[in-house]
Structures are given as structure tokens and as C-alpha cells.
Amino acid sequence: MSTHEHDDIFEAAIRVLLEEDRCVTISFSPGGISIRFPTTRKLAEYLSIPHYYVLPRFGAMEHDGLIRRAERVGISTTAAGTERLLAIMAEHYRERAEEVLGTEVFSVLRARGEAPGGGRPER
């Protein structure tokens, strides 16, 4: 699958984070920036589909290197997933993202996420 084939899941996650939860959890590490995704159950509920339909999609996204799943921790974006999520956020949800994150923070996240390596430092 191409990255864009997952955009419906990214959009649903963005809408849950920005419009329902009004909270975005961001982690910074030497590996880049990651953003915590809503749970698979919450996304399935938001999309009005059974939970078991969402699980293979997340498996495909993990296989494509866009997310990582950790038992009892949750789902978060990889550097590539963060870059895609922020691009969709900027294109379709900029005003809401700036409202929740702040204009300066959103701008810095976009700049760092677009840097070579998705914000990972050069070695």
C-alpha cells in the first residue's frame, strides 16, 4: 500500500485528536518525533465500523513503517508517519491544529517533521 492509501485512518485520527479529545501527545527522541494515535477501538467507533476491520489496517500501516504498536503502551507514529500526519493536518486542519497545539508549536513540528530523516539528527 502507498502512504496515501492510509490517509483515511490518518484523517480519522487527526479528527479524534483535534476535535474530540482536543489533546495531542507528542514524544521527542533521537529517532524523531512521534505522535500518539487514538486507540483502535476509538477509531473504529469514530469511523462507525467494527473494531476487527481496523486491526488489519493498522497492521498494514505498521508494515509500511508509518506506525509502531507497543503492547500496553499504545500506537504512535514513526518519523514517516509523523511527517504524513502533520502534512494532512496542515492541509486540512491547520486552524484546529494551531488552536490545540499553538501556532508556534505546530510550525516547529512541521519544520522538524519535514527535515531530512523526519526530524532525526544527521550522523
> Count of domains in the chain?
1
Tell me if 13 is assigned to some domain: yes
Tell me if 100 is assigned to some domain: yes
pLDDT-above-70 percentage for the chain: 89
Tell me if 122 is assigned to some domain: no
Tell me if 37 is assigned to some domain: yes
Evaluate if residue 23 carries a pLDDT over 70: yes
Instruction: Measure the CA–CA gap between 100 and 114, rounded to whole angstroms.
Output: 20
Tell me if 38 is assigned to some domain: yes
**3-class DSSP state for residue 107?**
helix
Query: How far is CA 24 from its chain centroid?
Result: 9
Tell me if 50 is assigned to some domain: yes
Largest CA distance in the chain: 44
Kindly report the average pLDDT of the chain as a whole number.
88
Tell me if 121 is assigned to some domain: no
Are 43 and 12 within 8 A, CB to CB? yes
Instruction: Report the CATH number that the domain containing residue 97 is assigned in CATH.
Output: 1.10.10.10
DSSP, res 79? H
**3-class DSSP state for residue 58?**
helix
Evaluate if residue 115 carries a pLDDT over 70: no
| Per-residue confidence (pLDDT) for residue 78, from 0 to 100 | 94
| Per-residue confidence (pLDDT) for residue 123, from 0 to 100 | 40
List beta partners, residue 36.
76
Tell me if 20 is assigned to some domain: yes
Q: What is the pLDDT of residues 63-109, one digit of tens each?
A: 999 999 988 889 999 999 999 999 999 999 999 999 999 999 999 99
Contacts of 66-72 with CB under 8 Å at 24 or more apart are 66/3, 66/6, 67/37, 68/34
| Per-residue confidence (pLDDT) for residue 117, from 0 to 100 | 56
Evaluate if residue 46 carries a pLDDT over 60: yes
pTM (two decimals) = 0.86
Query: The cell 479529545 sits on which residue?
Result: 21
**Domain with 78 in it:** 3-114
